[in-house]
Amino acid sequence: MKNVFKITMALLLMISLLPIMPIFATEEVVSVYDGTSVSETLQGNGTLVEPYLISSGADLAKFIAIINANIDVNAQINDQNTAETTAATAESREPVYQPNVYIEDYYLITNDIVWSSYVEADGLTAPTTLWEPIYAGYFNGIFDGGNHTIYGLFTNGTSESGTGMFSRFAGTLKNLTIKDSYFSGNIYIGGFVGLAYSMVAENLTNYATIHAKSIDTTYKGSFVGGIIGRAHIANTTITINNCTNNATISNITQGTTGINASAEGPGQLNGGGIIGSVGQVVVLRINNCINTGNVLSAYANAYAGGIIGYTNATSDVIIDKCINTGNVSYGKALVGGIVGQAATSSADDGAITTLIKNCLNTGTIYSAKMVGGIAGRIYAQARVENCVTIGSVICNKSGEGSFGIVGVETGELVNSYILAGSAYNETSTTTASATGGTSKTEIELKGPGVVAALGLSADNWSDGQADEYLTVAIDTVDPVITSQTITATAGEGGSISPAGIQTVTNGVDYTFTIVANSNYTIKDVKIDGTSVGAVSEYTFNTVSADHTIDVTFEEIPVETTAPETTVAITTAPETTVAITTTPETTVAITTATDTTVADTTVTTEESGCSCGGSDSATILIGMLTIITSLGLFIVIKKK
């Protein structure tokens, strides 16, 4: 019954994932590349509007030639900078270095490409045209597969620089499938990239067999992944979205069977269906990725996971909405359906550096050490939440078992479930506890309680759709969202920076600065319609949804007084002058020079009322000032 349940779940899973998996156009099978020709130029100009077009093996060879020429340029620059260091030291001055030159163009594949005649059935039989992994460490552009497939990439070497389609890569790599290919190397091996610098990988699908020789005695290990072998360059950021590995990843010699078929090598193997491992001070985001391939090793002291083998305590890793259906089987190792080991024991400061959420495992997970349906081991800096495992979790350690949702838990395990009876020690009849999670029967996993606990809509959980509980791990209806928008607006009287619609990558912090104009002040700032007060700066932390920020300003009140108005009046005897004034207006009456004005009557009358008044005064030659009220008529009579 359990096997039927698992098969049903896996089939439903693959059907439900169709909206987010890239669709590859059906093309006529093209001829095999001759192995020598190189196009003189590539059509296009390398821009987003007119990318350089790669439509054949000869065009791909031209791209490789461009990359290699750029490597030569940077090698000269590096030599000059080395010489500058020596000279500056001798002259006791600061060195002046030349910057490296990066390629930032856009390249687009427009047809399927068959690089060699190699097919998977050939095993280790090498084709005439071998593949030399592309060193794209000085590439920072876009390599777009255009939803096409490259066939026949065969590498069987011992390079320590990296093995895969690219030995090293920086930039954006997307919309590409690799089939009928074989990559075997030492240290860094990946279907697409051996060693990743800062890069984005999107909509990549690997069918190439990945094999680690791991013969190196300095590093004592290999880092192997279906998409990327390793990311360990400090202060780099790697994003992997919508990628799938369907191939076997192993260090077992091709043609042998069973986990103990080959002897242990000199060190450990870090293997993952998507990426082998991530090193220190690296930001890694893995979203909506699937591994269906088996991850196999005969090594002890290894780390293996359906998605990633190992994460470091000082890295910043989020694994979200990922699924493993492949079997992960290592010897004496830390093995998990999603992650082999999350974080390390070297930094128990309470900060979460690896977050595994909304993930599902249906594959069989096997080890003679620590084994978990989600993770083999999680340290204090790791957190597992909203995850489900229904595949068999088998420990082969005599006398005791370390197995369950996670094999060993010192980190956080929240709201996660394991199929009852799926975890056990095959050397005894002991069944593992859920290691902090919750054990559920098949019926319970299909029940409304699990749905509610995982925050799903009841609309997705009718009686007729009970088996679709796989959506507890991944929402396959909504499109994959890797960025959000924040709309910033400001009213009259000031500004907000940046303004308008901002596209923000998921998981980052984003800050806005608000400045009022002269004579204005900030009245209010509203975030998504809710006031946060009159702040001059606001930061959206770990952006994961769309937002709005709206700012209003108000004018600073100014005490206003009417300007002092001086009205000069020269009068003759018995002259009446009417003046309409404003409040606090000063009226100056000047008489003729050398004239004595006596018994002058000043009458004030307000329009529309009977209030009036007079005041007699002797006005010396000079100025008489009278403060009036609004609308007063001043009548001056000379007697």
Peptide bond between residue 563 and the one before it cis (omega within 30 degrees of 0): no
CA–CA dist 137, 367 (Å, integer): 36
CB-CB contact of 443 with 417 (8 Å): no
Question: How confident is the model over 320-335, as a mean pLDDT?
Answer: 83
CA–CA dist 418, 440 (Å, integer): 6
CA–CA dist 55, 98 (Å, integer): 35
Q: How many Cβ atoms from other residues are within 10 Å of residue 142's Cβ?
A: 18
What was the pLDDT predicted at 431? Answer: 54
Query: What would the pLDDT profile of 537-596 be if each residue is shown by its tens digit?
Result: 999 988 878 889 999 999 988 766 555 544 445 455 544 455 544 444 444 444 444 444
CA–CA dist 277, 303 (Å, integer): 9
Taken in order 34, 38, 40, 42, is the CA torsion positive or negative? positive
CA–CA dist 10, 4 (Å, integer): 10
Q: How many Cβ atoms from other residues are within 10 Å of residue 300's Cβ?
A: 16
What was the pLDDT predicted at 514? Answer: 94
The model's pTM: 0.67
Per the DSSP assignment, residues forming a β-bridge with 237 are 283
Query: What would the pLDDT profile of 613-633 be if each residue is shown by its tens digit?
Result: 333 333 333 333 333 333 433
454 or 236, which is more confident: 236
What was the pLDDT predicted at 252? Answer: 54
CB-CB contact of 293 with 324 (8 Å): no
Cβ neighbors of 441 (< 8 A, separation 6 or more) are 419, 420
CA 610 to chain centre: 79
